[in-house]
Amino acid sequence: MPIKVTRPISPSQRFKSGLTFEEITRTRPESSLTSSLNRTSGRSGGKVTTRGKGGGHKRNLRQIDFKRNKINVEAKVASIEYDPNRTANIALLYYKDGEKRYILAPIGLNVGDKVMSGETAPIAPGNSLPLAKIPVGTVVHNVELIPGSGGQMARSAGVGAIVAAREGKYIHLKLPSKEVRRVHSSAIATIGQVGNVDWKNITLGKAGRSRHMGIKPTVRGVAQDPRSHPHGGGEGKSGTGMNPKTPWGKPAMGKKTRNRNKPSGRFIMSRRKK
């Protein structure tokens, strides 16, 4: 999807760029597959639990089929639509039995194409198969971590995992982060790379576009007063003056706080960070 650059007729337009939405074929979502989205603005019981969230444009939630469990039933792509809740575009499917579902729209999937899920489905964009039936070297997305749980990996715009090797009942997947992970061969994955590749190249250009997405400004710790942040206070511009800390006094800025000894860690063949 190409990117359009605005004319610099005002300071907020000078660096602004956005998508042209040429792939979008329908502007209003399928009403039977939408529901209201109640957002909390990062608050629980009136207290801020996630800082930096608030406001944002009103949205409806699109119900996406991540499980792709309608086996051996052919569907036709009715439209490619924009989804405000994710970076990828979505495709509306009309199944032969009359059911409608949304899926993530991969590159190469167009209106009128036929898609299907199951072991006998051809290797084509939008089709879902068990990893055991997908050839080595194929790019996939919407990959299940646990068979039957629905796709959890490689779901954002422009990403795709590569089927790297086979090892018994496991498949080696090279993820977009360059991590290599073992996944059970019966897990379902969808063929192709997620569309809307140019999403990462746009420039918001002004603060208002962040506020439309529900993102509030983040104030630096050194710019606050001592009661609000450990880095605060001092005369004039000053540094942290200590080992960097979060607003609650925990180590920050590079300090490793995550416990790597997790049960799922044994499935990681090569970590994304050496």
Q: What is the 3-state secondary structure (H, E, C) of the chain?
A: CCEEECCCCCHHHCCCEEECCCCCCECCCCHHHEEECCCCCCEECCEECCCCECCCCCCEEECECCCCCCECCCEEEEEEECCCCCCCCEEEEEECCCCEEEEECECCCCCCCEECECCCCCCCCCCEEEHHHCCCCCEEECEECCCCCCEEECCCCCCCEEEEEEECCEEEEECCCCCEEEEECCCEEEECCECCHHHHHCCCCCHHHHHHCCECCCCCHHHCCCCCCCCCCCCCCCCCCCCCECCCCCECCCCCCCCCCCHHHHHEEECCCC
Predicted confidence at residue 5, as pLDDT, reads 93
Please, what is the Cα angle at 269 between 263 and 272, to 5 degrees? Answer: 95
Cβ neighbors of 164 (< 8 A, separation 6 or more) are 136, 172, 173, 174, 180
Contact call for residues 207 and 217 (beta carbons, < 8 A): yes
Q: What pLDDT score was predicted for residue 256?
A: 82
For residues 208 and 204, give the distance between their C-alpha atoms in angstroms, rounded to a whole number. 9
pLDDT in tens, the chain (274 residues): 789 999 999 998 999 999 999 999 999 999 999 999 998 899 999 999 999 999 999 999 999 999 999 999 999 999 999 999 999 999 999 999 999 999 999 999 999 999 999 999 999 999 999 999 999 999 999 999 999 999 999 999 999 999 999 999 999 999 999 999 999 999 999 999 999 999 999 999 999 999 999 999 999 999 999 999 999 999 999 999 999 999 999 999 888 877 878 888 899 999 888 7
For 3-200, give the CATH class. mainly beta
pLDDT of residue 261: 84
**Sign of the torsion angle spanned by Cα atoms 37, 41, 47, 52:** positive
- Of 250, 273, 247, 249, nearest in space to 260 by CA: 273
Give the separation between CA 78 and CA 25, rounded to whole angstroms.
9
Q: What is the pLDDT of residue 176?
A: 94
Q: Which residue has the tokens 């792509």?
A: 77
Domain residue ranges in the chain:
3-200
User: Which pTM value belongs to this model?
Assistant: 0.91
Phi-psi region of 141 (alpha: psi -120 to 50; beta: other; left: phi over 0): beta
What is the structure's pLDDT at 18? 94
